Copies of this chain bind each other. A is one copy, B any other.
Amino acid sequence: MLDICLAGTGGMKPLPDRFLTGLWLEHDGYGLLIDCGEGMQVALAKHGCKTAKMDTLLITHIHADHIAGLPGLLLTAGNGGRCGVLNIYGPKGTEKAVRSLMCITPELAFDVKITELTHHEITSFKWHDITVSALPMRHKVPCLGYRFTENRPPVFDPQRAMELGIPKMYWKLLHSGETVEHEGKTYSSKDISKEDRAPLILTYMTDTVYFDRLSEYAADSDLLICEGMYGSDEYIPKMKDKMHLVYSQAAYIAKKSASKRLWLTHYSPANENPKKYDKTVKEYFPDITISRDGERLTLK
């Protein structure tokens, strides 16, 4: 289960009525943030995201609208009594940028551990029991998307458990993946399961120009969160130059990847009414949300 809050939906610069794009995730009591542009600590506070739970920060790339809020977030966490390590992952250049920005947080009471990931191929690491894959985007600087895969236990079959004569006290343990010995026999979760369940998948992709592999990256997502700077296709040539996407390109990726839902984000400041193209984009992909700041979902 993943609690998801898109704390902001803006790109390039924060606006009085639109925070910069950043994604807040909660799983099993832990919090994870993707990107930390200027004002992110305010967006998180406004939307009730409990940063005391945060143990991990993922940076997509070293552009100010994705990282300039870091010193403020760190200091506020420190002033709030944080003492646990904060793990920061990002592309090449993250260490230098984070350490430079931390010149104004000299007395931080907790450690920051930085891991740089390659942007030449997909790499994976664990956030508790969730697998996080870093996806190479194509932007003006090294940039990563992120894919979260939560494997779920297979469907429990109580009928089968009763037939095998396994006492109820062992059912939960078995279903959680443990093995159990009972009357000289060893049972595993397979013995009491009907069928495998598909993992939960969340994919987050910004900032990038369009390329075919984006659909592979997003394959079978329960939720795809993808940038869309403008609603009109007339911006496609400009976005090729600026290395961003328009709504219809994000919708095409969602469709081709067989994603279940799509949230758009990272609107240009010049895109004053992001929802204007609501009807048009629904023709490309029905379950699309032109997200607002604070968009929420529990994926389960």
Whether the Cβ atoms of B68 and A71 lie closer than 8 Å is: yes
Whether B12 contacts A79 by the Cβ 8 Å rule is yes
Considering the complex, give the chain B residue whose CB is closest to the CB of A67. Answer: B104
Other A-B pairs, 18, CB within 8 Å; known A38-B42, A101-B104: A13-B41, A13-B76, A14-B39, A14-B72, A16-B46, A37-B72, A38-B68, A39-B42, A62-B104, A64-B71, A64-B105, A68-B71, A68-B72, A68-B104, A97-B104, A100-B100, A100-B103, A101-B101
With a cutoff of 8 Å between Cβ atoms, the chain B residues found around residue A76 in the complex are 13
Asked if B104 and A64 make an inter-chain contact with CB atoms under 8 angstroms apart, the answer reads yes
A-side interface residues, number (CB < 8 Å): 31
Copies of chain A in the complex: 2
Check A75 against B64 for contact (C-beta < 8 Å): yes
A 53-95 contacts with B by CB, 8 A: 62-65, 67-69, 71-72, 75-76, 79
State whether the Cβ of A276 lies closer than 8 Å to any Cβ in chain B.
no
* Whole-angstrom distance between the Cβ of A258 and the nearest chain B Cβ: 37
Looking at the assembled complex, report how far the CB atom of A216 sits from the nearest CB atom of chain B, in whole angstroms.
Answer: 31
Taking a contact as CB atoms under 8 Å apart, the answer to whether A45 and B63 are in contact is no
A binding-site residues for B, Cβ under 8 Å: 12-16, 37-39, 41-42, 45-46, 62-65, 67-69, 71-72, 75-76, 79, 96-97, 100-101, 103-105
Contacts of A16 in B (CB 8 A): 42, 45-46
**A79 CA to B101 CA, complexed, in Å:** 21
Query: Are A64 and B68 interface neighbours, CB within 8 A?
Result: no
Closest residue of B by beta carbon distance from A102 = B100
CA distance A219 to B14 in the complex (A): 39
Counting chain B CB atoms within 10 Å of each CB, the highest count among A16, A63, A64 belongs to A64
Report the 9 A-B pairs with minimum CB-CB distance, sorted nearest first.
A100-B103, A16-B46, A38-B72, A100-B100, A64-B104, A13-B76, A39-B39, A68-B71, A14-B42
* Closest residue of B by beta carbon distance from A16: B46
Chain B residues within 8 Å of A39, by CB: 14, 38-39, 42
Report chain B residues within 8 Å CB of A15.
42, 45
With both chains docked as a complex, state the minimum distance between the C-beta of A128 and any C-beta of chain B, in angstroms: 28
CA distance A68 to B103 in the complex (A): 10
A14 to B103, CA, bound (A): 19
Closest to A141 in B: B106
